[in-house]
Amino acid sequence: MSQSLRLPPLPALRAFESAARQLSFTEAAHELHITQGAVSRQVRTLEQFLGVRLFDRFTRRIELTEKGRNYFCVVQDSLCNIEQATKLTMGDAHRRITLDVLPTLCTLWLMPLLQEFTEAHPQIELRIDSSLDPVDFRSHQADVAIRVGRLPGRQYPADAPRIDLDLAQSWKDVQADFLFPDVLVPVMSRKLLSQGRPVESAADVLHYRLIHTANRKHAWADWLAQHRLGSPARAPSLDFGHFFMAIRAAKDCKGIAIVPKIFLESILVDAEMVCPFDSQLESAGAYYMLTRQSCANDLAVQQTRRWILSVANRFSDRAEAVPGA
């Protein structure tokens, strides 16, 4: 028979994990609904139990020691595994899953589908967050995320359109499922096209104002370079912060926006917008769904994952045919 386990107190582990993740006793106190002093006492209890210093304490900040960083990784994984095992043991009767999605993808692609998910999985409540930041599962704020970017270690064509976003802060314990490629296409108002010069080739887009999006600042330059057309500086331009803003400007006849092809089904549905010139140029990266590998036995996470994969496959099939002008 094995010897009994020698484990530190669970409250001390929880206080340490929260403080280490946020590098703040104050934030840990807010998260755990206890005082900052209580967090500090719990951490000191843990340090006394271990016989090592876990944090370097400064006047206005704390930092993990080397042993603290190593211990944090193990403690965080262990607490996550205990949490998942607890949910499974309790029957997983009702779960809230936090899904973190890129803003425009959330509006144009995901939101119209949520009723379908609810009907298929009434026991799962989807909480939707929206962000462009690399997902950080260490914060415990997201269960599933959808991002666009490059997979680490994968080789991409040097001349492929760039993606200025990262998928994840850390790849430890992260599983990435491919959803669809990032293919950039021009879109514009049908009214503007009818009033201006025809767009019969890639070069013809330069007769119009080019609408840029801040988080994909190289999109037009790389698209034009792929068509051997040089710099977008040859055409007047407008700049917006997000794709949905650029799309709105294009709909208002401000110029031509360049957007991911996956948005076209929603953009072209009212016939006010057209894709004047089709393109099949894939970017150096793609859209991926990210989950924790340690959640492989979490039924609610896996049901959410399988549903997203199924709708991504449906949309990818339909996106092969792009309505033209």
Please tell me the number of Cα atoms within 13 Å of 261 on its side-chain side. 27
Residue 285's pLDDT is 94
Residue 81's pLDDT is 78
Give one DSSP letter per residue of 160-206, joined into a string: SPP----SBS--TTEEEEEEEEEEEEEEEEHHHHHHS----SGGGGG
Sign of the CA dihedral running 108, 267, 222, 278: positive
Give one DSSP letter per residue of 52-87, joined into a string: S--EEE-SS-EEE-HHHHHHHHHHHHHHHHHHHHHH
Residue 270's pLDDT is 77
Residue 316's pLDDT is 65
Taking the chain (325 residues) in runs of 10, the rounded mean pLDDT of each run is 74 92 89 89 94 93 93 87 72 77 92 90 89 86 93 90 91 93 93 91 91 91 87 76 92 94 86 86 94 86 94 71 44
> What's the pTM value of the predicted model, to 2 decimals?
0.72
183 phi/psi in degrees, rounded to 5: -120, 120
Angle (CA) 266-268-273 rounded to 5° is 130
Tokens at 131, concatenated: 């962000």
Q: Which residue has 């089904």 as its token pair?
A: 265
Residue-wise burial string across 102-139, b where 16 or more C-beta atoms lie within 10 A, e elsewhere: bbbbbbbbbeeeeeebeeebeebebeeeebbeebbbbe
Return d(Cα 219, Cα 237) in angstroms, integer.
13
Residue 185's pLDDT is 92
**Beta 174-189 vs 210-213: how paired, if at all?**
unpaired
